[in-house]
Amino acid sequence: MASRELHAALEAAQAAAELIRGYYQKRFAVRIKADASPVTEADVRAEGLIRDTLNRYFPGYGFYGEETGQHAMGAENVWLVDPIDGTKSFVRETPFFSTQIALLRAGRLVLGVSSAPVYGELAWAEEGGGAWLNERAIRVSAVTALADAVVSSGNLKSLTVGPRWSRYGELIRRVNRIRGYGDFAHYHLLARGALDVVIESDVNILDIAALSVIVREAGGTFTDLDGGSVGLETTSVLATNGALHSRVLDAL
């Protein structure tokens, strides 16, 4: 049975989806932030709407938002929110953007909602409750051989510096297929068994917190590229169906 927290996160994601769809493919101002990433009125308004919704139900929880920063991070429960993960896609009018809402409890990610309102997918998971995509229970693949594996990559800029780049090239030659779906899309595909490995080297925890719970509850394994657990400082990802995880980790 879904918790009150999951119900609140789904309600917040749905409210944000309606707002975001109203902005998509419309004219709006784009501002460049200090980190050189874009932000729009839709980002700011969607985050405010999500925060108001979650605070209405859980006023004592902390909140870490892409646009408004960190608040009450010492609380036992902290919401992690990226209102539009993939703002560049949103601005360029491609549907590969999403709203990400996760709950961090005592340092552990326990809930995740990934809403892609234009792409038409809503995924969610809660610790111990399995993973769901558009009301259907989902599960990672049973692929066990690298030669049969489908691998998807996201941003790999920092991977190009150092020995991992050549190792990544060697890994590509060993797998069945390589694609770069990126953003929420390849994690949804991984969680429902349509591909087997996701590799990224330049991420922010707000991009992946919810997705890590979804992949984990679908039976997969989600770490950084060193095999470490996911936390606030995580900047890289190795997510797999579980059966392939140690093999890919060793290869990289």
Write the DSSP string, 77-93: EEEEEEEEETHHHHHTT
CA distance 24 to 118: 8
3-state secondary structure of 103: strand
Tokens of 5: 């927290």
The pLDDT confidence band at residue 30, using thresholds 50, 70 and 90, is: confident
Of the candidates 123, 141, 135, the one whose C-alpha atom is nearest the C-alpha of residue 212 is 123
Residue 105 Cα to chain centre, angstroms? 17
Statement: residue 36 has pLDDT above 80: no
Burial 160-183 (b: 16+ CB within 10 A, else e): eeeebeeebeebeeebeebeebbb
Looking at residue 179, its pLDDT comes to: 96
pLDDT, one tens digit per residue, over 165-179 is 999 999 999 999 999
CA distance 28 to 225: 37
Domains of the chain with CATH codes: 4-129 (3.30.540.10), 146-251 (3.40.190.80)
Mean pLDDT of 47-51: 97
Task: Report yes or no: 109 and 230 within 8 Å, Cβ to Cβ.
Answer: yes
Mean pLDDT of 245-250: 98
Mean pLDDT of 200-226: 97
pLDDT, one tens digit per residue, over 67-115 is 999 999 999 999 999 999 988 898 899 999 999 999 999 999 999 999 9
Statement: residue 8 has pLDDT above 80: yes
Task: Report yes or no: 220 and 241 within 8 Å, Cβ to Cβ.
Answer: yes
Of 36-40, 90-94, 184-188, 230-234, which range is least confident? 36-40
First to last CA, the chain: 39
The pLDDT confidence band at residue 27, using thresholds 50, 70 and 90, is: confident
Looking at residue 32, its pLDDT comes to: 81
- Compute, in degrees rounded to 10, the torsion defined by CA atoms 124, 25, 69, 232: 40
Of 243 and 87, the one with more pLDDT: 243
pLDDT, one tens digit per residue, over 188-197 is 999 999 999 9
Statement: residue 37 has pLDDT above 90: no
Of 28 and 120, the one with more pLDDT: 120
